[in-house]
Amino acid sequence: MFKGSIPALITPFLDGKVDVAAFRKFVNWQVEQGSHAVVPCGTTGESPTLTTDEHCYVTETCIEEVGGRIPVIAGCGSNSTAEAVQLVRHAENVGASAALVVTPYYNKPTQEGMFQHFSAINDASNLPVIIYNIPGRSVIDMSVATMARCFNELDGIIGVKDATGNVARVPMQREHVGANFLQLSGEDQTAMGFNVHGGKGCISVTANIAPKLCSDFQNACLKGDYAAALEIQDKLTLLHDAVFLEPSPGPVKYAADLLGICSAEQRLPLVDVSEHTQQKIKEALIKAGLLD
């Protein structure tokens, strides 16, 4: 079962190309800092602007560097069902532990269309699939009923990354889908409440730059020690907020640059974060004890 702190990895760039050396070092650091699993090629990894070859290469490189120490949940989302199938098959062939597949953005499919999308993906491989439900980016929201249908009728669907920000969805999904349905938060700021309601962890943006704190936080939650978790949450609250002041991953990449992890470089249409956001990031890093 997947659980705990699962960073949605940024993809370092240098002069317009994937910075492979920085990425390899970054992946190893995440493992050493206690991350419970990693997700390459998600939205935070700028998957919309990776070429198919780059997407596959980043996934392969991540799996190679992890070397079986923790699970790799490969980002395989697309608004084209055929492309998502292709990415899931590739992830399975190169040894990923599971696939994270977003609900189809821009096309605005119906609930039936979403079910058929995941049905085709399910039938294309034997890789466990986690649904990524993020209405703020995809414009569509998979209903609890459709999620239950996916889980009950499709053997490969094992859970959800819930980025609705609505912690009430967790008990509702437990009621209709069942306690065996894996629920991972997709929003750092509400992850504690998510876990209290029955969640098992968070696919996190903040964990890119604070992996040990995020891991310690999730370990405390998994033990039911919410007093200890709250102490860590208080250190991270400003950082959770700051990394979403502008479109992700701009703020977290700026933080990564400050910490010497990689360049803040992104690909258009994303641009450098504003001076205001830079200042807020610095203040939040200091509050978390990550920057002097």
212 flagged as catalytic? no
SS3 281: helix
For 72, phi then psi, to 5°, come to -115, 115
Catalytic residue among 3, 105, 132, 200: 132
Q: How far is CA 276 from CA 10, 245, 247, 280, in A?
A: 22, 9, 14, 6
Asked if 254 is an active-site residue, the reply is: no
Catalytic residue among 3, 105, 161, 253: 161
Q: Nearest to residue 161, comparing CAs of 42, 19, 25?
A: 42
Q: What does the alpha-carbon distance between residue 129 and residue 286 come to, in Å, rounded to a whole number?
A: 37
Helices 226-242, 250-258: axis angle to 10 degrees equals: 100
CB hemisphere CA count around 34 (13 angstroms): 12
Residues with catalytic roles: 132, 161
